[in-house]
Amino acid sequence: MADEMSKLEQRPESSDLQTLHVGLMAYGQANGWEFSIDETTEGEDRWFAQIEGPSLSLYFEISSPKMVVGLASFLESQRHGSINYANEMEIGHFNGSPVRLLRDNEFRDRCFLTIQSKGMSNVRITVSGDDLDAFSNAVRQTQTEINCNE
């Protein structure tokens, strides 16, 4: 029973209705924000990210845990106003729609988490100030755990 409770079941994004079994690979948290990476425990290797914040809960597929390294660098560059990074970063997919982090060109302490469908619909979530700092810290902690597990 304990083994079953440690697994999270998630439906795949494709038309395949098989239930995936995933387990926690890495986790970070700071001031009400959590960022975690799950990996499949059987079958094809797949990875998922979960972002939890005071008013946000998002679970989506990522191409690889190495995305976390790029995400941590992107967030760090945002805090320091670096112009050496792109203005956006695709971090995964939600039901086939890209999940991106967009840099704000007006305020250094603000980013937008977006999900853009193939149509005109989209979701845009603002992460700024102390929330952006906390999210960045949670991502860095997750990155550290991934590096330790390699």
Residue 2 pLDDT: 39
* Cα(75)–Cα(19) distance, integer angstroms: 33
Residue 76 pLDDT: 86
Which residues lie closer than 8 Å to 90 by C-beta, 6 or more apart? Answer: 98, 99, 100
* Cα(105)–Cα(111) distance, integer angstroms: 9
Residue 18 pLDDT: 53
| First-residue to last-residue Cα distance in the chain | 29
The identity of residue 97, as a single letter, is S
Q: Sort 36 into a burial class: Cβ within 10 Å, 0-12 / 13-18 / 19+.
A: buried
Residues of the chain with pLDDT under 70: 1-18, 78-86, 149-150
**pTM for the structure as a whole:** 0.82
CATH code at 44? 3.30.2450
- Provide the domain count of the chain: 1
Which residues lie closer than 8 Å to 41 by C-beta, 6 or more apart? Answer: 7, 21, 22, 23
Residue 10: give the domain boundaries.
Answer: 2-149
Residue 14 pLDDT: 44
Residue 20 pLDDT: 83
The identity of residue 6, as a single letter, is S
Residue 49 pLDDT: 97
